[in-house]
Amino acid sequence: MAHIDDPTTQRANLAYIKNAMREPLLEREHEFDLAKRWREQGNEDALHELVRAYARLVVATATRFRNYGLPMGDLIQEGNVGLMQAAARFEPEREVRFSTYAAWWIRSAMQDYILRNWSIVRTGTTAAQKSLFFNLRRLRAKIEGKGEGMNDIGRQWIADQLRVDRSDVMEMEMRLSGADQSLNAPIRETSEDEWQDFLPDVRPNPEDIVIGLRDAETRSKWLGEALGELSPRERTIIEQRRLGEEAVTLEELGHELGVSKERVRQLEQRAMLKLKNSMLKRVERQSDLLLEDA
């Protein structure tokens, strides 16, 4: 869904755009001089003049991305952030025009903003997805411009152009064809029912909760009775190995009981088997138990 600015914001954006386009272009030597004064001396006047001169780049880039349904003013502000980042990192001694360097930072800042805000679902988390997001429409338009429909051959061509899998193309194609929809939206214009009214509630109902609590109490009672049938040494092993917050190691229990850790392991297995057999006598179905097999 496209975001439409209010009239006041639209007028402010238009005024900014007009002012940006009125700024004179910089000669190469003057541009480098401004960049050096800012970089070496921290001269803010030089920075402001440099940034103002290339605000037109921000406006031009924002115009290219206006079809993604986001406010023009926000795109411009994000582009200005990228412009400032370019000014902070620009190295005049490399003899590259600032406009060439800044264009990348401006475009990158706007693309990141679009990916963060185009949908409530995160899009373009990888380089391949980002490339697909910003190039799929253009490449698809080339195919359709030849009078051909979007088919598997066309998708494979796009995948080859962008060096991604065809499955990635299909996934992004479906993603771009859908739009976010509020769960509070009515299912139809003449209905008061909302989409969220038809979402299943997977939580247990009160009856299931009560039954679960009762079953848990019953199992606890059975377990207590079964533990009473073990020898003192077997019960100690089960309590410290299975029923404590942190299981005691076989070696530690061996030192405590005066036996080897292998003997503790054998006693533990035997005790678990006794517990299982004792509990099975108390239920009709084995599935009613949640005991771990020995």
How much is the average pLDDT of 54-71?
A: 85
What's the CA gap between 113 and 276, in Å, rounded? 59
Structure tokens at 210: 């009560």
Q: Is the pLDDT at 120 greater than 60, yes or no?
A: no
Maximum Cα interatomic distance, the chain, rounded to a whole number of Å: 95
What fold is seen in the domain 1-118?
Answer: Four Helix Bundle (Hemerythrin (Met), subunit A) (1.20.120)
Count of beta carbons in the 10 Å neighbourhood of residue 62:
24
- Residue among 157, 127, 129 nearest 141 (CA): 157
- For residue 38, what are the CA distances in angstroms to 43, 58, 84, 92, 265? 5, 20, 12, 10, 73
pLDDT of residue 266: 92
How much is the average pLDDT of 43-64?
A: 89
DSSP code for 118:
S
Q: Exposed/middle/buried for 267, CB within 10 Å: 0-12, 13-18, 19+?
A: buried
Structure tokens at 74: 């926000």
Domain boundaries, the chain: 1-118, 123-199, 206-288
Range scoring the smallest mean pLDDT among 42-46, 93-97, 107-111, 200-204: 200-204
Residue-wise pLDDT tens digits, 197-220: 666 666 666 666 666 667 777 778
Percentage of the chain modeled with pLDDT above 70 = 74
pLDDT level of residue 292 (50, 70, 90 thresholds): very low
pLDDT of residue 82: 92
Report the chain's mean pLDDT, rounded to a whole number. Answer: 78
pLDDT level of residue 229 (50, 70, 90 thresholds): confident
Range scoring the smallest mean pLDDT among 52-56, 103-107, 205-209: 205-209
What's the CA gap between 155 and 141, in Å, rounded? 12
In the chain, alpha helices (H): 7-22, 28-41, 44-53, 55-64, 72-89, 98-117, 127-145, 152-162, 166-177, 206-227, 232-241, 250-257, 261-280
Q: What is the pTM of this model?
A: 0.47
pLDDT level of residue 142 (50, 70, 90 thresholds): confident
Could you tell me how many residues make up the chain?
A: 294
pLDDT of residue 1: 46
Q: Could you name the CATH architecture of 206-288?
A: Orthogonal Bundle (1.10)
Write down the residue that tokens 């088919």 correspond to: 151
